[in-house]
Amino acid sequence: MTLLESLNQTTKYLKDHQIESPRLNAELLLAHSLNLGREEFYTHLHDPLKEREEETLEKMIRRRISGEPLQYILEHQEFWSIDFKVDSRVLIPRPETELLVEQSLLILRQYQTPPVKAGSIAPLSINSEQTPACKAATAEELILSGNSLGGIPSVLEIGTGSGAIAIALAKEVKNIFLVATDISRDALVLAKENAEAAGVQHQIKFVNGDLFDPLCPSKERKPFDLILSNPPYIVRPEIGSLAKEVRDYEPTIALDGGEDGLEFYRRIITGAPFYLREGGWLLLEIGQGESEKVAEQIESSGAFLKPQILPDLSGIERVVKAQRIPPSPPLSKGGKGGFSGAKNG
């Protein structure tokens, strides 16, 4: 059988099994089983398919028709034009999450500090022990131990998964340093691989633990200029009705947002002011229909200015962006503004 014949046969088979975009799936699976790029594949259409290649293809087809996402079978997904390795350890990065990257860049590009150089931070380490709350370094120590430059813009990503967001930011902005956390140690192993493949490992420290637990609040200084997260936000009772590809194959820990889907927002919004400098930014991806409730939580915390809600390319409200109340201007003696001039209310 030639590649072309196999392509046609596979397409029909996938179609008969209700796989969406059967031709594209067939093409990608076939090219993958032959270790060929898509373009290269098209120059070999009339070559015969070897028995071993046919067997590999068959195995992959079986996985696909059982509902496994194509990205897990091919072990990669593009995000922000970067190729990421993905497998069942991590959520497959979604195109709509690029909005979180876009919005972060608007903030981070304003800093004019020099680039973070390779070798200027400690090598990436993944805690081998689960870090008990505040037993690790303080967030500040993490950053200071991480670089010798001092004063560089710093970002905290909570729930980094494949590392897609943190890595995209590090590639785009060379003068930032990121701490990327995840409760899943398996996810962090993969995220670290992805950071190395993208050549940005010197800009990111990966830490394992529950939300802010691997960090410690510091009374003196709030180390982060930006905190961002695409947390699990699916309403727990609705997980069962998600597409099979998501429900049965992506990690539940990456999806489950608690009974009302908002569990992580409550915890992140409460915790963030302990780690975010005054005037720093909080950016959160949100699920459909969650924007107002999340914005309300931010407003009622009293720590932020009025949040903005931003739609993705499909017009769905996807990101909530809030600035921590900036420091008040210094008091001027006897001046009108500030405390001394406010005697009469």
Whichever of 41 and 233 has its CB closer to ligand GLN, that residue is 233
Q: Does 232 bind ligand GLN (CB under 6 A)?
A: yes
Q: For residue 36, what are the contacts with CB-CB under 8 A and spacing of at least 6?
A: 44
Neighbours of 46 (CB within 10 A): 9
DSSP state of 240: G
Closest CA to 324 of 269, 285, 266, 287: 269
**Interface region with ligand SAM, contact rule CB under 6 A, candidates 30-38, 60-68, 119-127, 183-191:** 183-191
Whichever of 170 and 255 has its CB closer to ligand GLN, that residue is 255
Q: Does 230 bind ligand SAM (CB under 6 A)?
A: yes
C-alpha 27/C-alpha 6 separation (Å) is 10
Which of 22, 69, 223, 232 contacts ligand SAM by CB under 6 A? 232
Provide the minimum distance between the beta carbon of 265 and ligand SAM in the complex, in angstroms, as a whole number.
12
Continuous segment of H or E residues that includes residue 288: none
Q: Does 97 bind ligand SAM (CB under 6 A)?
A: yes
Whichever of 3 and 254 has its CB closer to ligand GLN, that residue is 254
Report residue 237 CA to chain centroid gap.
24
Provide the minimum distance between the beta carbon of 14 and ligand GLN in the complex, in angstroms, as a whole number.
22
Residue-by-residue DSSP string for 103-126: HHHHHHTT--PPPPPTTSSPPP--
Provide the minimum distance between the beta carbon of 99 and ligand GLN in the complex, in angstroms, as a whole number.
12
Whichever of 152 and 255 has its CB closer to ligand GLN, that residue is 255
Pair type for strands 177-182 and 204-208: parallel
Q: Does 94 bind ligand GLN (CB under 6 A)?
A: yes
Which of 69, 153, 161, 287 contacts ligand SAM by CB under 6 A? 161
Residue-by-residue DSSP string for 174-220: TT-EEEEEES-HHHHHHHHHHHHHHT-GGGEEEEESSTTTTS---SS
Q: Does 160 bind ligand SAM (CB under 6 A)?
A: yes
Which of 84, 233, 275, 304 contacts ligand GLN by CB under 6 A? 233
Residue 21, helix vs strand vs coil: coil
Partner that binds at residue 246, options ligand SAM, ligand GLN, none, CB closer than 5 to 8 Å by kind? ligand GLN
Phi, psi of 232 (to 5 degrees): -60, 130
- Provide the binding-site residues for ligand SAM, judged by CB under 6 A: 90-91, 93, 97, 158-162, 164-165, 181-184, 187, 210-211, 230-232, 253-254
